[in-house]
Amino acid sequence: HVQLVESGGGSVQAGGSLALSCEVSGHPYDQYCVGWFRQAPGKKREGIASIHTSGDGILYADSVKGRFTVSQDTAKNTVHLHMNNLKPEDTAMYYCAAGPSRYGGSCLLSPPLYSPWGQGTQVTVS
């Protein structure tokens, strides 16, 4: 049974930092990507970062590039998302999900490619 569980959300003032974690239990695929996504009320789900289990495949959406950093702890099957210089527009429910590896260990940030998903964790920036 594959399960992803996010943790680390919360409320922070603009300019602050938060770190999210995504613990993956089971093996969704032999080699796979873990993506971070977010969805604000009334908006569609946005892919913001990804990392491949090899450590490659790191991608960032333009909206978070330079402020967010994705990393993984393979020993703990956990992927982290460190978020700095947070802005009110970063307020959303944040999800992690597992997706298939692409050729060469690359990843994509398209939500339909990813399954299963975690339950989400709320990030609020004021």
Q: Given this model, what pLDDT does residue 38 score? A: 98
Tokens of 122: 């709320």
CB 57 within 8 A of CB 99: no
| Residue 24, pLDDT score | 94
Residue pair 78/21 in contact (Cβ under 8 Å)? The answer is yes
Whole-number mean pLDDT of the chain?
94
Helices (H) and strands (E) in the chain, counts: 0, 10
What secondary structure does DSSP assign to 81-92, as a single string? EEE-S--GGG-E
Dig out the tokens for 36 from the structure: 């971070």
What tens digit of pLDDT does each residue of 46-61 get?
999 999 988 888 999 9
CA angle 45, 23, 76 (to 5 degrees): 145
